[in-house]
Amino acid sequence: MKKLLSKVTLGLTLITIFSNATVYEDAEDGTIDRWSIYDNTPTGATISNVTDSEHGRVIHFEGNGIEDNGFVNGQYPWLPKAWNNTTEKILKWSIKSSEFFLVFVNVQTDDGFRFLLYAPIDYDTAWLHGLGTSTKDGAWHTFSRNLKQDLKDINPNLTLLSVNGIFIRGASFSMDDIILENDNSSQECNREVDSTILNLASALHPEDFLFHQPTIKKLPLVQGDTFFFKLDAFSNGAAPASRLYRANCKDHSQIDDLFLEGDSNRINYVGSIGEVAYFTNYHDAGEHGIPFSISEGETLQRISFIDNFITERDLDIKDLQIINSKLELSTVKRSNQNEYKTYIFSQNGTLLGSQ
């Protein structure tokens, strides 16, 4: 069921403004008037207002892929259709896609305009924020991004002045409920791994900082007031190691040591379903990946149904993916490394099939 916010009918050009939010699209008026195709080469890309079984009315896009066609709501800051929103910096949107997509948010800074880029990948880069590979599974996913923080991640010296539009590239996808709102929290959620957090990590494990400064890698995973990161490539005995942490992002007052991997870069974040975050690593002597779960306020726990499944069948995990809200577990037989098989599980651990 769509939220009450989405039930307000928008006029052909009118944007509905609430006390703490501005709705730039909820599709309820049945039009596509707020959209245009900014890259129509090759021709044939389309935008339509359709009915979705979960979200009601939504905007659907058909194109030739991320390299060919692009769609926009808003514009560059000097053009008439730009949002020029100077007060609201939290951007929310819902998207449903089975293919790779790119979302560009145009913002004006004190040093000209910039694009904040988002993609369905499991990591952040110096210029891109990952949304998780599981977000292109054909199901609806809703995102809430603090654009001020995301800009700081890319360049801490820039100041965000206004938000001007959302540009999307992809082949076939739907979007709904594009909203800018104020940050009503008393303090922003700071996902920086700063000196305070590193000091807490060093106090927990001073041995990790003896020989090499660890490499910091943030994970595209936030639960409540906590975010997740790992430290890689520090010395742990004879080999470099990696350690997974969870930190309080409101005031950086707390840090949880979740897991140590004896070989650097071997802890991999797979994705999330509900409150369960899936990781794989190669900690056990069998050198097979092991999934873990994290619920807010809990420590890292092994997911027993997968762990038991591979142990009982003498298997190694070769790959673990989240596809269409299901787990696809690719395995190899320990006694015969050429014997591959993929098992598909529901979220509660029911084996749905194999191939």
pLDDT per position as a tens digit, 62-78: 998 888 999 999 999 99
Name 110's Cβ contacts closer than 8 Å, sequence gap at least 6: 158, 159, 161
According to the model, what pLDDT value does residue 283 have? 65
The mean pLDDT value of the chain amounts to 85
In this predicted model, what pLDDT tens digit does every residue of 13-41 receive, in sequence order? 334 444 468 999 999 999 999 999 999 99
Q: Which domains does the chain have, with CATH numbers?
A: 4-181 (2.60.120.430), 186-273+294-299 (no CATH)
Window from 12-21, 102-111, 223-232, 305-314 with minimum mean pLDDT: 12-21
Report how far residue 140's alpha carbon sits from residue 174's, in angstroms, rounded to the nearest whole number.
9
According to the model, what pLDDT value does residue 238 have? 62
According to the model, what pLDDT value does residue 4 have? 29
Parallel, antiparallel, or unpaired for β 90-97 and 102-109?
unpaired
In this predicted model, what pLDDT tens digit does every residue of 190-200 receive, in sequence order? 888 888 999 99
Q: Which residue has better confidence, 190 or 106?
A: 106
| Strands (E) located in 170-267 | 172-181, 215-223, 226-236, 239-248, 255-261
Q: Determine phi and psi for 281, rounding to 5 degrees.
A: -155, -175
How many CA atoms lie less than 13 Å away from 28 in the CB half-sphere?
19
Q: Which residue has better confidence, 209 or 10?
A: 209
Q: Which residue has better confidence, 320 or 223?
A: 320
According to the model, what pLDDT value does residue 182 have? 84
According to the model, what pLDDT value does residue 5 have? 34
State yes or no: pLDDT of 102 exceeds 80.
Answer: yes
Distance from the Cα of residue 309 to its chain's centroid: 29
pTM: 0.59
Return the number of other C-beta atoms located less than 10 Å from residue 69's C-beta.
24
How many residues are present in the chain? 355
Q: Which residue has better confidence, 330 or 284?
A: 330
According to the model, what pLDDT value does residue 114 have? 95
Per-residue DSSP letter, 127: S
* 146, 180 Cβ separation under 8 angstroms: no
Parallel, antiparallel, or unpaired for β 112-119 and 128-130?
parallel
